[in-house]
Amino acid sequence: MIEISNLSFGYSKKNLLFKNLDLSLKEGHIYGILGKNGAGKSTLLKNIAGLVFPFEGICKVKGYTASKRLPAFLQELFFIPEEMYLPSLTAIKFVKSTAHFYPNFNEGEFFKMLNDFEVPGDSKLNKLSFGHQKKVMIAFGLASNTSLLIMDEPTNGLDIPSKNQFRKIIASALTENRCIVISTHQVRDLDSLIDSLIVLHKQGIVLNSSLDTISERLKFTNASSVNGKDILYSEENLSGINTIAANTDESFSKVDMELLFNALISENKFVTDHLKSHL
């Protein structure tokens, strides 16, 4: 689906966000992209969407060079940015003016999702709250039925019930022919949704793996329930000590993405070496 090879990009050649970056993403997965502020999460999405152009390297989506923005490429892609500016149109008129660019757009799905999100369909989009505007674009992107859906911080502006609804809708929208890529800093909003994790750090990708594979290699638990010699990383919190340990007994534990992210960006040698030797 997405093939990035030797990509180098920056908003100036003296300050590169990515250097010789390689990434391969497949259909049938929901990828979550994590990174510190300024690590380039949004910029990576824009490279995939062809909205910015690398100094070096190639970014292809379904065989199309992203930067060329060919019509056949654009029909397969829907990008929801973090900030958006919607026109002074109702949802019905917006569909009439825009939906024809997406051959697989399903109007019934769109209005059903608006109803599920409790968004008024007769209001002009630019007059809606930011949260409702975000819901409109999420619904439109899903109803477009493109093979690639990219979302940058989609849960920003959503209240708690809307976040729950968002997770349900996204989970039901994934098919074996679709790839969904989500950039976020709100890890807890997505920990039950994504199945593969990408971590950006220091101009490159330090992790690109399925959560199942991570769980096979690492155990996420508290210090009192694991042999101390197996602990690779730990953090104290109000409820005790959370740990990452080598999964020596092949047991299952839910991946704590926030804890793993903190371990990776702190460049914890024990965690990174253990993952590299097994992934």
The full set of domain ranges for the chain reads: 2-88+145-201, 210-276
What values do phi and psi take at 4, rounded to 5? -115, 130
pTM, 2 dp: 0.91
Please check the confidence at residue 248 and state whether its pLDDT lies above 80.
Answer: yes
d(Cα 176, Cα 29) in Å, to the nearest integer?
8
The pLDDT of 4-28, averaged and rounded, is 91
pLDDT for 223 equals 67
And the tokens for 62? 């379904």
The pLDDT of 180-203, averaged and rounded, is 89
Of the pLDDT bands very low, low, confident and very high (cuts 50, 70, 90), residue 279 is low
3-state SS record for the chain: CEEEEEEEEEEECCEEEEEEEEEEECCCEEEEEEECCCCCHHHHHHHHHCCCCCCEEEEEECCEEHHHCCHHHHCCEEEECCCCCCCCCCHHHHHHHHHHHCCCCCHHHHHHHHHHCCCCCCCCHHHCCHHHHHHHHHHHHHHCCCCEEEEECCCCCCCHHHHHHHHHHHHHHCCCCCEEEEECCCHHHCCCCCCEEEEEECCEEEEEEEHHHHHHHEEEEEHHHCCHHHEEEEEEECCEEEEEEECCCCCCCCCCHHHHHHHHHCCCHHHHHHHHCCC
pLDDT for 64 equals 94
Homologous superfamily assigned to 2-88+145-201: P-loop containing nucleotide triphosphate hydrolases (3.40.50.300)
Q: What is the pLDDT of residues 28-38, one digit of tens each?
A: 999 999 999 88
Please check the confidence at residue 3 and state whether its pLDDT lies above 70.
Answer: yes
The pLDDT of 179-198, averaged and rounded, is 88
Q: What is the pLDDT of residues 171-181, one digit of tens each?
A: 888 888 999 99
Mean pLDDT of the chain, nearest integer: 89
